Structure 1
């Protein structure tokens, strides 16, 4: 009887089920439809209040969705070197999760130093998988601001001084991240080149310099990398804050480059409702440090793009055209990320990710000097190795600002060496100096107790005494991520090493000729002791696998192949921002607190300046040694005369003339021999990394098109390639030019 009743009930509901099946499925939920069609359908279903709610934060790191329509929240996370630990809804304090540790990847200066686009893709893929696993749909990175001064506390998060190199490295990083259904949010757009007065600095720069130096990496990120998000910078340009800047956001980014993603404010970078409405901002985040401030139960409602925006619309003072444009971009972001059914699942703290972190570190470490081939260390001949310096033991993944991480682990350089040597050679340690013994940022604590109350003299005496009987001495120092060093919201006081490290190094050099200096930093440092030491290694901030990556280079398991992504000057006076006395700018006298910074050096940043002024830097852009040697043959070209729009290819034979496998980075610079406007002596326009076995030779070919010959004519507001004579320079660095070829543009 029960069976008969069930069948009867089923028949009663058949018409209802049939009607339900005939109901039209919303297009925005139909993944077979084009994204733009889905965007318009979803837009048509939103109320005014729901639209406004999408454009501003609802917590420290998220913005609202539309539960009624199944549109999820947008969750962002700081990168660009790892996935930030969870914080409380309204505060920066830790949320107390036990499963939000991550892999700490090397800093972006290290990635840039690899000059390896496949390594950049691996980096993006790996960090994107970590973000996806934590269900984030926007990674706040990478950064591509140009290295204008070595004092910038945030240089370690960027990709060096050359716009071409930064552009080539950022594109595969973005593609790797976004393959996981996570948006890369490229930052900080634009002209964010130092941290002092970062909220009040107004940059004064000519259009030509803007387009040739400070925009190309961002343009590559948008037009080639297809970045889904861009973050505005704190500073001002043309007296408008860059998070709502008509010229940068509407004219260039969304106009000239056809950017179809979202523009996100930096946290606290929004200052005015009207400008935020009109001048290109799409999503406002972090306009107050504490979401519960200003006497409101929910301060997010009072954000510039929240109730103030809604009220202006209701009063008829502004229309909804700009709002609809913002919401289209936000919906497009959702369909690309957490509403994409093909989105992969990601992975967190996997063996593959730790392996990637190690490989990236190994690829980016730069061997700057190696007298008498003291490196690699021969453990068969060495009985005692002395390691000196705080940076040999100090955790570097905590600190530095928003890129601070809660790493699952961080292997120190000292422990990495001990692990690799594994008792065959005695590894001793002496502190040498005390820098910053603390280790905490935003509630993440390293747990290290690095306090040492001994006097500087006692520390040096101990290290020197131990150095006299060591076969090798490795000093591991440099900067750290404390305020006033490599750290967000502060700049360095000078070029010198802090904590009187120069004194320690010189004392060690006098005690032992086999002294190897490892500089850990994201910036250039002065080296007044350079001629007194055998070897110098630039090691960057290497993340979780720091100890393994550094040990593999020092002990020769991996042949170093990194090259500098920025120039090391001998002194600040060799840096144009300081030589011309334009850093950090001049405060206005009108009481506005605005600081004007004039980029009077124009195009001549980094090696462009040293070339122009005929300065021999401490270490040039593109410099990096190997444990083997490379011989360059005579360069050739497929054509000596080209027409506008034609590509031209330059080829050189490179041979490994040493006794071990190694990789060389062949660099192509272009020189315009006669131009109607002043141009740099040469500019990087191509590079290729080639791996060679001992005795092996390969042809390396680099192709460029007319863009590589062009300059930006600001009087015409267009790129121009003038007919005439050019020269291609093939080299191992910006100063180590191996061959030249002249060619002509008709």
Structure 2
């Protein structure tokens, strides 16, 4: 399935075999073990340079988590999937390859193609969709784009890493059919159509075997059936056993230098516990990757002519506006009327949240907030702003008004080096993450030092995120000097969890004060991943929420249109933990209701990476979903609200209330999480249970209307003719669903079989051409352990969403 080898592939294989033959056992074992947080060791004796990996998926951080080396920040993966455009995904990948090369990165740790099994999954913003077909198509475009720039990908997290609760230990019990039809399907499609150079195996266990040791899924399915020939890297700290991991098909154990490979692997071979040919197979995969990216002497890289340079800011803006999903638009509330006045309301309009929390975080050189974007787009005097309600009910990491640096010192107080820290966050993982001149063996303290200029007068709260000894000083007074304890075994939960408040200081707007947070670094000698991670946190003076809402209502009454921004926070959507509810944080629901009562022309923009409940949705004029829109989100929002561009997104995931959601269990019991819903997740489950969501899969409105004129098929190709029956040019995403004519309780009522985007001017006709994959007619037969083509009569249903199917034809296969 992964394709046949070309002459260039064969030449690289020859170079790989020659290099492998010149390595002794210790060198081979060392190559399979990270030498630090992000790299594999160089082997000069065979002309192999060090391989560098970096987190993605919306930007390329590089080996240092610092704003001194900024990254382009694209919209979230849910936003990319909402474009329903694999070519745009390919463009995103091409840009990220460009960013990778700029930062000296050979392999991007992305994309994430796990499914939205339950809306409670805390990391869903980093994955694409609830549908395996859509996920596979978008992921294929992304991988093709990255690798067209000569940079490898690692499709992750293989497999069934669909929630965060107890992710290191949970045993997900999944039927073979559900694995094949849902969770493995995006990986299979990407392996077949994009030939990725890497796969990342997950933390979790599947059916009793941890994924870094899963011989069946890795060696028999991934490498055997699908003929995947790339390298298999563990998620960071996921590898647990030397012998079981190498037998299970794991090539590289990250991070280093202390892993289950390296000297431990060489010793296992010498002790007769592992045969050296297993080591050779893994080394061969790593050398093949090195040859492909151009760091193995004597091997020509796959890409010798780079793609054209991509404008990162322009692409981020295009993806954002193409991803925005207009789910409601009564009386043509959008686009905004020319020369009208607008009251922009919401803390997220001023302090934009453009990306999700966790390891996907990058530092863009600039962020365009909605307030920035609309200020630039609207005439002077047309826009007013009110906070209304703040979703951040807890402290958040330092942001506006702080000018900080991190100063590193040894035990004698001597300065070793420094780094910028504009957000008050320190995330130095491994030796490569430290500032120049700093080493873990000499590092004793890190001081965040600088100034804070408040934008509001009143009592400001300061606190700390992280664990260990800290001293916090504000304006010359020490408010905390003690040890903050870890709250959980998972370091992500401890670090990305709620900051602890330790001081409240009365400050005056515009008057800067000195800030210092000193941390005594305690890195155990035997730790597998030396890391320095902590953050300073802050909260503006808390005003009476009722007063803030009253101010927003007054602003709304005096404007032609009220635009309310509501948002989630990093405490709601982040790596490391799942959600317990889908409600918006703080008083945001109250804010929307009050503004809508004051101004019937209220537009709500929802700034979240995944579904939230919108209990007021029928009481407002328009609802626009903006996801986490990346660094240019505010400019893109202005484009869409003013009508310069139309919202192009369609829902990649069903939105509804938690009480109606069919699959809500993400918490294991006694270490196990059974996927009792089997193949029924997302729209498949909503339809089976006869439940009506707030907004169905595939839904999305534009600024024009479309009429579906005809559909025809020869059994493999579907052609749908649509007419732009509105008054302006637009783009339509034509969706094709395949439904067995005879209902079968063991099969979904219908499934997405294909889609295509078309563009047309007013009155013009366009034709969408969709190829029907053979897999759309197949199910996994657990009796024969194989795919089974289900013959019979099928309806081909074309339309605008899973519940808005406009035109139908029938075929017999």
**Same-fold call, TM cutoff 0.5:** yes
For residues 429-468 of structure 1, what are the structure 2 equivalents within 5 Å?
429-435=386-392, 438-439=396-397, 445-446=422-423, 451-468=540-557
- Superposed CA offset, 1:95-131 (max 9, x none): x673x21110111100100001111111111111101
Give 1:320's aligned residue.
276
Classify 1:632/1:621 alpha carbon distance in 2 versus 1 (closer, same or farther; 3 Å): same
Matches within 5 A, 1:545-624: 545-569=632-656, 571-578=657-664, 582-587=665-670, 595-624=671-700
1:736 and 1:31 map into 2 onto residues whose CA distance is 48
**Which residue is equivalent to 1:489?**
576
Q: Give deviations 1:40-97, integer Å, cap 9, x for gaps.
A: 111001111110111011111111120222201110000000011543xxxxxx5x67
Note if contact 2:342-2:559 (Cα within 8 Å) is conserved in structure 1: yes
Q: Is the 8 A contact 1:187 1:232 kept in 2?
A: yes
TM-score (norm 1): 0.87
1:65 equivalent among 42, 51, 55: 42
Query: Superposition pairs for residues 211-226 of structure 1, below 5 Å?
Result: 211-226=180-195
Structure 1 residues 31 and 50: alpha-carbon distance in aligned structure 2, compared to 1, 3 A threshold: farther
The count of residues paired between Structure 1 and Structure 2 equals 671
Measure, in 2, the Cα distance between the counterparts of 1:406 and 1:37: 41
Question: CA offset at residue 719 of structure 1?
Answer: 1.1
Q: Matches of 2:156 and 2:370 in 1, distance apart?
A: 30
* Contact 1:632-1:738 at 8 Å conserved across structures: yes
1:333 aligned onto 2:289? yes
1:563-602 alpha-carbon deviations (Å, 9 max, x no partner): 0000011x22322222xxx432212xxxxxxx21111111
Determine the structure 2 residue equivalent to 1:625.
701
Q: 1:305 to 1:128 in 2, by over 3 A?
A: same
Distance 1:273 1:46 in 2: 20
| Cα drift, residue 431 of structure 1 | 4.1
Q: Does 1:418 align with 2:375?
A: yes
Task: Say whether the 8 Å CA contact 2:125–2:356 is kept in structure 1.
Answer: no
Give the Cα separation in 1 of the matches to 2:213 and 2:660.
Answer: 35
* 1:203-245, Cα deviation, whole Å (9 max, x unpaired): 1111111100111111111111100001111111122211221
The structural deviation recorded for 1:430 is 2.7
- 1:252-295 alpha-carbon deviations (Å, 9 max, x no partner): 11111111001110011111112111001101113xxxx6xxxx
Question: Partners in 1 of 2:635 and 2:251 — Cα distance?
Answer: 42
Distance 1:407 1:344 in 2: 29
* CA distances 1:515-555 after superposition (whole Å, capped 9, x unpaired): 11100111111111111111000001111111111111111
Distance (Å, rounded) in 2 between the aligned partners of 1:191 and 1:574: 23
In structure 2, the residue matched to 1:679 is: 747
Structure 2 counterpart of 1:210, from 169, 176, 179: 179
- Cα distance, 1:315–1:188 mapped onto 2, change above 3 Å: same
Alpha carbons of structure 1 residues 347 and 452: separation in structure 2 relative to 1, 3 Å: farther
| Residue from 218, 222, 245 that aligns with 1:253 | 222
Q: CA deviation at 1:440?
A: 5.7
Q: Is the 8 A contact 1:398 1:439 kept in 2?
A: no
Q: Write the distance in 1 (CA, Å) between the matches of 2:355 and 2:702.
A: 31
Cα deviation 1:690-725 (Å, max 9, x = unaligned): 011111111222221432211111111111112211
Is 1:735 the equivalent of 2:803?
Answer: yes
**Contact persistence 1:564–1:620 (CA under 8 A):** yes
**TM superposition shift of 1:32:** 9.9
Q: CA 1:33–1:264 in 2, change beyond 3 Å: closer, same or farther?
A: closer
How far apart in 2 are the matches of 1:50 and 1:216? 36
| Match status 1:180 vs 2:149 | yes
Unmatched segments (≥5 aa) in structure 1: 1-29, 88-93, 292-299, 588-594, 639-646
Q: Distance in 2 between matches of 1:410 and 1:149?
A: 31
Q: Describe the SS at the equivalent of 1:193.
A: coil
RMSD, aligned α-carbons = 2.2
Are 1:433 and 1:504, in contact at CA under 8 Å, matched by a contact in 2?
no
| CA 1:432–1:346: 2 relative to 1, 3 Å | farther
Query: Within 1, Cα distance between the matches of 2:380 and 2:241?
Result: 63
In terms of fraction of residues, the more helix-rich structure is 1
Unaligned stretches of 5+ in structure 2?
A: 1-6, 400-405, 407-419, 425-451, 455-538
SS at match of 2:119: coil
Where do residues 335-350 of structure 1 align in structure 2 (5 Å cutoff)?
335-339=291-295, 340=300, 343=303
Deviation at 1:661, TM superposition (A): 0.7
The Cα shift of 1:634 comes to: 2.8
Distance of aligned partners of 1:655 and 1:736 in 2 relative to their CA distance in 1, 3 Å threshold: same
Go from structure 1 to structure 2 and tell me whether the alpha carbon gap of 1:360 and 1:664 turns closer, same or farther (over 3 Å shift): same
Asked if structure 2 preserves the Cα contact closer than 8 Å seen for 1:399 and 1:439, the reply is no
- Structure 2 contact 172–207 (Cα < 8 Å) conserved: yes
Q: Find the counterpart in structure 2 of residue 377 from structure 1.
A: 336
Which has the larger share of strand? 2
Q: Counterpart in 2 of 1:265?
A: 234
Contact 2:292 2:302 in 1 (8 A): no
Contact 2:125 2:573 survives alignment (8 Å): yes
- Aligned-partner Cα distance in 2 for 1:248–1:739: 40
1:85-104 alignment, distance < 5 Å: 85-87=62-64, 94=65, 98=68, 100-104=69-73
Q: Secondary structure at the match of 1:574?
A: coil
Match of 1:360 among 298, 311, 319: 319
Which runs of structure 2 are paired with 1:230-241 in the superposition (5 Å)?
A: 230-241=199-210
1:655 counterpart residue number? 723
In 2, distance between residues paired with 1:563 and 1:219? 24
User: CA distance change for structure 1 residues 361 and 444 in 2, over 3 Å: closer, same or farther?
Assistant: farther
1:14-29 map, 5 Å: none
Q: Which has the higher contact order (CA 8 A, sep 6+)?
A: 2
- Cα deviation code 1:335-388 (max 9, x no counterpart): 00033457569799x8711111111111111001001111001232x1x31111
1:434·1:452 contact (CA, 8 Å) conserved in 2? Answer: no
CA distance in 1, matches of 2:788, 2:398: 51
Q: Give the direction of change, closer, same or farther, for the CA distance of 1:305–1:366 in structure 2 (3 Å limit).
A: same
Q: Taking structure 1 as reference, are residues 520 and 137 closer, same or farther at Cα in structure 2, changes over 3 Å only? A: same
Residue 343 of structure 2 corresponds to residue 386 of structure 1: yes
The CA distance in 2 between the partners of 1:70 and 1:185, in whole Å, is 24
1:168 to 123, 137, 143: 137
1:543 aligns with 2:630: yes
Q: What SS does the aligned partner of 2:154 have? A: strand
- CA positional deviation for 1:317: 2.7
Q: Which residue of 1 aligns with 2:108?
A: 139
Shift of 1:616: 1.3
Local SS of the residue matching 1:104: coil
Structure 2 residue 165 is the aligned partner of structure 1 residue 196? yes
2:259 is equivalent to residue 303 of structure 1:
yes
Inter-CA distance 118–424: structure 2 relative to 1 (3 Å threshold): farther
Deviation at residue 166 of structure 1 after TM alignment: 0.6
| Counterparts in 2 of 1:155 and 1:434: CA distance versus 1, 3 Å | closer
Using the alignment, how far apart are the partners of 1:488 and 1:36 within structure 2?
38
Distance 1:146 1:236 in 2: 16
SS at match of 2:385: strand
Q: CA deviation at 1:308?
A: 1.4
Q: How far apart, in 1, do the equivalents of 2:659 and 2:566 lie? A: 24
Q: Deviations over 1:425-471 (max 9, x none)?
A: 23333342351562369985447976232121121121112211111
- Taking a change above 3 Å as real, the CA distance of residues 513 and 62 of structure 1, as seen in their structure-2 partners, is same
Distance 1:424 1:657 in 2: 36
CA shift at 1:473, angstroms? 0.9
Return structure 1 stretches of 4+ with deviation > 3 angstroms: 30-33, 340-348, 439-450, 674-677
